[in-house]
Structure 1
C-alpha cells in the first residue's frame, strides 16, 4: 500500500481548515433558520467533497486506504446522525432560540473536533505501543452495540450532570438568553446566560461521543490521517443536517439497530485482529492465532453500507406505513 504524499496531506489540511472556518464561522454565524433547500445544497456539497477526496486517496495511495476512508467516513457520519438525537434534546431542554441554534451547533462541533483530535492522538499512540488495546476497543464497541439495542426505551429527557448542577449553585445564571452572549447585565449586576450551560453540556456530551467514535474508526483504519479526515468530513455540514432531520430524527426508529450492527461488527473485527497479531506474548507464545481470518476492507464497507442503508430504508417504510394508517 502506497502512502499518501506529504504534499497531498498538507493541502488536505489547508482545504479542510478553510471548509471548517466557512462552514462554522461564516455561514454558521448568520443567525437564521436555514431553509430546506439551503440545507440540502450544503449537505450535498460536503458529501460530494468527501466522495472526491476518497477518489484522490485512491489515485495517490491505492484502493485499500480509499475504501478505509469511505468506511470510516460512513461510520462516523452515521454516529453523528445518531448524536443529533442528543443535540435535539439539549436544545429543547434549554429552550435555545432557533435563531441562535446554528451558532450553538458551530461551537459544539468545534469542541467535538478538538476532543476527537485529542483522542485520535492518544489512540494512535496506544495502538502503536500496545496491540492488546484492540481487545479493550473491541469489547467496548460490542458493549456499546448491545447497549444501543437494549436502550431503545430509555428516557428521552436530558438530565444535567453533577458538574452543571453544582455550577448553578456557585455562579449567577439568568433564565433568559441575550443573543449569543455568555454574559449579560441586569439591574447593574453581571450574570452568566444559559448559553454557558448549553456549551458545557454539549462539550461534556462530545467527550462521550468521542469514546464511541474513535475506537470505531480505529477498527477500520490505523492511519491517523484517514482517521482524522473521516471525522472532519463527518462533522462538516452537521449544522444543516440538524435542521434538515430535526423533525425526522424521532422517526428514524431503526437507526440505532443499524448502528449496533456496525459497532458490533467492528468490535469483533478488532478482537480478531488482536488475536491474529504476532506481538501478543500471551497468545500462542507471541506468534498470535494465525488461523483467525482477517476481515477484508471491502467487507467492512459492505457491512456498513448494508446496515445503515437497510436501517434507513426500513425506517422510511415504517414512517410511511404509520402515515398511511393515520390517514385511514
Structure 2
C-alpha cells in the first residue's frame, strides 16, 4: 500500500500529538472541576481547526506544493485534498458521537463540571482504537482488495439504518452494554466527585461516573467501526487516514461543549450524515468501475451537511424533544421513597 508517510513524518506527527495531548491535559488540570463556558469552547474549537489546517499546509509544503516540480505539486495537492476531505467527513461523523455523549450525560445526570474529564478519557480511548482499527483496515485492504466492497456495502447499510433511526429516542434502559455493566457491577446512587469508586458501609463501590466512562468506551468502538471504512473510501494512504482521524478527534472535547446546547436546532443533521455515509459507500462500491474524484466527494459532503443544517433552522421538529429522566437508580430510589 503506497503511503507518503516517511519515518520523519511519522515521528513529527507522533511528537505533535503527544505535545497537543499534554497541553490539553495541562489546561484541564489547571481549570479543575469547572464548567466549560461557550466562549472557551468556541476558542478551543477554533484553535484545533486552525492547527489542523496548519498541519495540512505544512504537509502540502513538505511534499513540494510550493516550489516543487509538476509531479510534486500534483502529489501535494492530491494529498492535501484527501486530508481535508477525510478530516471533514470524520468531523461530521463526530457530531453524531457528540449527540450520543450528550444523551449519556443527560441520562446519568453528570454534573457539567465533571464532563470534560470524562470526554478526555473518551478521546484517549478513541485515539487508541482508531489507530488499531486503521492498521487492521490498511492490512486488510492491502491483502484483500474485495474488502473494499464489504466496507462500501457496510457504509450504505449504516447510512440507511441511520436514516430510519433519525428522530427516534434511544432506549438506554434496554441497552445491552448498560444492562451487562449493571448486572456485573455494584454501583452507588450518587457521584463522589470525579472518582470512579467510592466506599459505602466499608465496601468499595463503583460510582455512576465509571458507568459513563465504560459506555463512552463502547460508543468509541461503535463509531470507530463506522468511521474507519468512511475514511478509507476517501484515501487508502495510512498516513492521511490516521492523521485526518486524529486531528478530527483532538478537537472533540471542545466541539462537544460548543454544540451541546445546539443539538435540538440541528435536528435534521442525522439525515445529512446518513446521506453522506451512503454517498461514500457508493463511491467505494464503484471504485473499480469509476473512481469518483476526491473533490466531488468533498463538494457532496459540504452541500449535504450545509443543506441539512440550514433546513434544520427553517423547519421545526415534528415532535418536541421529550425530557429525559435522571440516572435510573436515582429514579427507582425516588419512586421507592414516594411509595
**TM-score bracket for the superposition, by shorter chain length:** 0.7 to 0.9
Matches within 5 A, 1:85-96: 85-96=99-110
Say yes or no: does 1:293 pair with 2:294: no
| Aligned equivalent of 2:258, options 244, 254, 258 | 244
Tell which deviates more after alignment, 308-317 or 211-220: 308-317
Please, which runs of 5 or more residues in structure 2 have no aligned partner?
Answer: 64-75, 318-339
Label 1:95 to 1:228 Cα distance change in 2 as closer, same or farther (>3 A).
same
Distance of 1:40 and 1:165 partners within structure 2 = 36
Distance of 2:177 and 2:311 partners within structure 1 = 39
Aligned to 1:6: 7
Aligned to 1:286: none
Aligned to 1:15: 16
Distance of 2:311 and 2:298 partners within structure 1 = 20
Distance of 2:13 and 2:183 partners within structure 1 = 45
Distance of 2:184 and 2:281 partners within structure 1 = 42
CA contact (8 A) 1:2 1:60 kept: no
Say yes or no: does 1:312 pair with 2:309: yes
TM-score (norm 1): 0.87
Task: Quote how far apart the aligned CAs of 1:5 are.
Answer: 4.4
Aligned to 2:322: none
TM-score (norm 2): 0.84
SS in structure 1 at match of 2:205:
strand
Matches within 5 A, 1:188-199: 188-199=202-213
- Tell me how many residue pairs correspond in the alignment: 303
Aligned to 2:112: 98
Aligned to 1:288: none
Distance of 2:182 and 2:298 partners within structure 1 = 46
SS in structure 1 at match of 2:43:
helix
CA contact (8 A) 2:90 2:231 kept: yes
Task: Quote how far apart the aligned CAs of 1:126 are.
Answer: 0.2
Say yes or no: does 1:158 pair with 2:155: no
CA contact (8 A) 1:5 1:60 kept: no
Deviations 1:103-127 (A, max 9, x none): 1111111111111111111100100
SS in structure 1 at match of 2:28:
coil
Distance of 1:55 and 1:245 partners within structure 2 = 27
Distance of 2:194 and 2:223 partners within structure 1 = 25
SS in structure 2 at match of 1:75:
helix
Distance of 1:204 and 1:242 partners within structure 2 = 18
Distance of 2:82 and 2:52 partners within structure 1 = 13
Aligned to 1:285: none
Task: Quote how far apart the aligned CAs of 1:13 are.
Answer: 1.7
SS in structure 2 at match of 1:180:
coil
CA contact (8 A) 2:92 2:273 kept: yes
Matches within 5 A, 1:83-232: 83-159=97-173, 161-232=175-246
Aligned to 2:299: 302
Distance of 2:251 and 2:218 partners within structure 1 = 21
Label 1:303 to 1:167 Cα distance change in 2 as closer, same or farther (>3 A).
closer
SS in structure 2 at match of 1:249:
coil
SS in structure 2 at match of 1:185:
strand
Over the residues paired in the alignment, what is the CA RMSD in angstroms?
Answer: 2.1
Label 1:49 to 1:166 Cα distance change in 2 as closer, same or farther (>3 A).
closer
CA contact (8 A) 2:177 2:215 kept: no
Tell which deviates more after alignment, 250-259 or 86-95: 250-259
Deviations 1:36-58 (A, max 9, x none): 21111100011111112122222
Distance of 1:223 and 1:99 partners within structure 2 = 39
Deviations 1:110-169 (A, max 9, x none): 111111111111100100000000111000111111122221232244245434424433
CA contact (8 A) 2:3 2:237 kept: no
CA contact (8 A) 1:138 1:269 kept: yes
Label 1:268 to 1:170 Cα distance change in 2 as closer, same or farther (>3 A).
closer
Aligned to 1:283: none
| Aligned equivalent of 1:82, options 96, 114, 120 | 96
Please, which runs of 5 or more residues in structure 1 have no aligned partner?
Answer: 277-291, 321-328
SS in structure 2 at match of 1:220:
coil
